Amino acid sequence: MFSMSSSLRALIFDLDGVITDTAEFHFLAWRRLAEEEGIPFTREDNEALRGVSRRESLNRMLKGRAIDEATAQAWMERKNSYYLAYLETITPEHRLPGVMRLLDAARLAGMRLGIASASKNARRVLDKLGLLEAFDAIGDGYSVVNPKPAPDLFVWVAGRLAVSPQQAVVFEDAEAGIEAARSGGFWTVGIGAATRGLAHLHYDSMAEVSLEAVTRQLAAG
Ligand code: BG6
Ligand code: MG
């Protein structure tokens, strides 16, 4: 099992699917592009895109179809323009239930807070949610070269927060994110169905997370 070698000092959050739910907007934007290009793309197909980079999302959407680099760039730009239009509709009401309670409790406990998102639009999303100032460090799709499941983004954010991986817990809704955090040596809390059985702790939703329970269970091992 696991136990904490030192006290918990930071919480690091994935953004899409943990702080807010933009997966539907990503889906609608990819589906529009896919339809325009005559590629079948279902809601189920979209599950495989959860948490991975824009480039990897395109690869998975193509399912082996070959396109040249200029076309790939143009398609990613087009998908992003559709996605940006959806982002305009986001407000602070789109914070997932339980998020503010957890952030407030962590602040009261003196913890540092970080975001580690694969998205190049993470700052825009946080701004629309009214949460740009709520975090001490924001890692996004521009911060590191190797995307999740490489551990680099979480390590980058932990460095900005001046904590070691063993002093931080990562909240993630995607398999690639849990794999990234675990290989970086972080404690992990999985949120939702895709992370069941993969993380140190698991909750069906952020609304069920309690800082006290997470701290106690990680300490108990
Ligand atoms: C992740 C999402 O946070 O960001 C993925 O879970 C998305 O679905 C990825 O593809 C990249 O996002 P963006 O905004 O840079 O296209
Ligand atoms: Mg996510």
Atom of ligand 1 nearest to the CA of 174: 6
Measured from CB, residues less than 6 Å from any atom of ligand 1 are 15-16, 26, 49-54, 57, 80, 117-121, 141
The class that CATH gives domain 10-21+94-220 is alpha beta
Specify the pLDDT at position 7: 86
Q: Whose CA is nearest to atom 14 of ligand 1?
A: 119
Domain ranges in the chain are 10-21+94-220, 23-87
Residue 61: partners with Cβ closer than 8 Å, 6 or more residues away: 30, 33, 34, 39, 41, 45, 49
Q: 78-116 in b/e burial notation, b at 16+ Cβ within 10 A?
A: ebbebbeeebeebeeeebbebbeebbebbeeeebbbbbb
Residue list, CB under 5 A from ion ligand 2: 14, 16-17, 51, 173-174
Domain 23-87 carries which CATH code? 1.10.150.240
| Strand pairing class (168-172; 137-139) | unpaired
Q: Whole-angstrom Cα distance, residue 204 to residue 113?
A: 22
Tens digit of pLDDT for each residue in 131-157?
999 999 999 999 999 999 999 999 999
**What does pLDDT average to over the chain?**
95
Q: Residue 4 half-sphere exposure, CB side, CA atoms within 13 Å?
A: 22
Q: Which two tokens stand for residue 212?
A: 């006290």
Helices (H), 63-121: 69-87, 99-108
* Ligand 1 centroid from CA 5, angstroms: 33
The CA-CA-CA angle for residues 76, 138, 33, to 5°, reads: 15
Give the H or E element holding residue 30.
helix 23-36
Specify the pLDDT at position 220: 81
Give the residue numbers marked as catalytic. Answer: 14, 16
pTM of the model: 0.94
Q: Whose CA is nearest to atom 4 of ligand 1?
A: 119
The CA-CA-CA angle for residues 95, 110, 115, to 5°, reads: 40
- For residue 122, the ligand closest to its alpha carbon is 1
* Ligand 1 centroid from CA 53, angstroms: 5
Atom of ligand 1 nearest to the CA of 117: 3
* Ligand 2 centroid from CA 57, angstroms: 13
Tens digit of pLDDT for each residue in 37-82?
999 999 999 989 988 999 999 999 999 999 999 999 999 999 999 9
Q: Whole-angstrom Cα distance, residue 23 to residue 85?
A: 14
- For residue 180, the ligand closest to its alpha carbon is 2
Average pLDDT over residues 162-171: 97
* Ligand 1 centroid from CA 119, angstroms: 4
Specify the pLDDT at position 2: 47
Q: Report whether pLDDT(171) > 90.
A: yes
> What is the C-alpha R_g of the chain?
17
Confidence class of residue 3 from pLDDT cuts 50, 70 and 90? very low
- For residue 125, the ligand closest to its alpha carbon is 1
Specify the pLDDT at position 86: 97
Tens digit of pLDDT for each residue in 114-133?
999 999 999 999 999 999 99
